[in-house]
Amino acid sequence: MSALLDVRNVETFYGPIMAIAGVSLAVNAGQIVTVLGANGAGKSTLLKTISGAIDCRKGQVLFEDKEIQNRDPDVVAARGIGHVPEGRDVFPFMTVEENLLIGAYGRGDRDAVKRDFETVYQYFPDLKTKKHDRAGFLSGGQQQMLAIGRAFMGRPRLMLLDEPSLGLAPLLTQTIFQIIRRINGEQGVAVLLVEQNAHAALEVAEHGFIMEVGRIVMDAPSPELMASDDVKEFYLGQSSEGIRGERRWKKRKTWR
């Protein structure tokens, strides 16, 4: 069986700067896969390349066996990919309800859309009580819920989540990750989850990729990654940023 999403050897540039250099990865239908990496590793760029927000210079992105690289993002979204961007990016001046309605833009099945509103409110009861509030006034956690709900309203078969735990308290992160897992299990939506929070991500994901300066340097099933010394040291460890950065530099050679 071929993968739902198949990224093959993709290279993406910002002007002359190569942000991702020959990345390949696959996500199967119904699977949760995570990409871990430090700030600036190229995780967001990878997701943007998949969803068509940035063109790649080389390589292919296949979704359900069809090439989607370098299409406009609205076209890619219509194919069944829902991108939950970094930093939530909700429509701040619109109400929660309007944000969700926009998420369902391009869908003709009105009755199903109505049911999906209820589904989203079930997953995120906070959103229901705030449905007439402007999204800009929500807390960070609620905005993250709204961004996920908005993507869900498009009924994607694959969700791209860009650091949903960013800036959230551990408890809230846990809640949101549990719901990601529920959406995956109950709705059959595959998830490509990009994270710096390796603990939380490896707990929900089946498989993990580790990205460093634009390359995938390691990939394995989550339990294996959690047990790996390198991952323990650099991604699950308690060490401070500075020490981590130095050590990574030394250790990187062993991975390549």
Partner 1 sequence: METSDVIQLALIGISQGCGYALVAIGFVFIYRATEIINFAHGELMMLGAFMVLTFAQIWGLNFWLSACLGILSLGVFGYLLDAVVMRRIVGESQAIIFILTVAIALMLRSLAGIIWGWSPRSLDVPFMQDVQIGGIVLGMDRIAIILGTILLCALLYWFFSRTRTGLAIQASSQSQLAAYYSRIPVKRLISVVWAIAAMVAAVAGLMMAPVTQVDTGMSAFGIKAFAGAVVGGFGSIPGALLGCLLIGLAEPFLDFFFPAFKGVYAYIIMLVVLFIRPEGLIPQTFAKKV
Ligand X SMILES: Nc1ncnc2c1ncn2[C@@H]1O[C@H](COP(=O)(O)OP(=O)(O)O)[C@@H](O)[C@H]1O
Check: CB of residue 255 under 8 Å from CB of residue 230.
yes
Work out what residue 134 binds among partner 1, Mg ion, ligand X, none; the CB cut-off runs from 5 to 8 Å by kind: partner 1
The set of residues, in sequence order, having a beta carbon less than 8 Å from that of 68 and lying 6+ positions away, is 50, 52, 61, 62, 75, 76, 79, 81
44/69 with CB nearer Mg ion: 44
Site for partner 1 in 30-59 (CB under 8 A): 51-53
Check: CB of residue 145 under 8 Å from CB of residue 127.
yes
Burial 142-157 (b: 16+ CB within 10 A, else e): bbbbbbbbbbbbbbbb
CB of 229 to Mg ion, least distance (A): 26
Check: CB of residue 43 under 8 Å from CB of residue 235.
no
Residue among 30, 73, 128, 236 that touches partner 1 (CB under 8 A)? 73
CA distance 68 to 222: 28
Q: Residues 138-177: x/- map of binding to partner 1 (CB under 8 A)?
A: ------------xx--x-----------------------
Asked if 85 touches partner 1 (CB under 8 A), the answer is yes
Site for ligand X in 16-45 (CB under 6 A): 17, 19, 37, 39-45
Judged by CB under 8 A, how many residues of this single chain contact partner 1?
A: 27
- Rg of the chain over Cα atoms, rounded to whole angstroms, equals 18
Check: CB of residue 211 under 8 Å from CB of residue 19.
no
Q: What is the largest CA-CA distance in the chain?
A: 57
CB of 108 to ligand X, least distance (A): 34
Asked if 44 touches Mg ion (CB under 5 A), the answer is yes
174/187 with CB nearer partner 1: 187
Residue for token pair 């959230």 = 168
Check: CB of residue 33 under 8 Å from CB of residue 208.
yes
52/208 with CB nearer partner 1: 52
Residue among 1, 14, 65, 111 that touches ligand X (CB under 6 A)? 14
CB of 244 to partner 1, least distance (A): 31
Residue among 37, 42, 82, 208 that touches partner 1 (CB under 8 A)? 82
Distance of CA 153 to the CA centre of its chain: 16
Interface ranges with ligand X (CB under 6 A)? 14, 17, 19, 37, 39-45
Interface ranges with partner 1 (CB under 8 A)? 51-53, 72-74, 77-78, 82-83, 85, 89-94, 98, 101-103, 105-106, 134, 150-151, 154
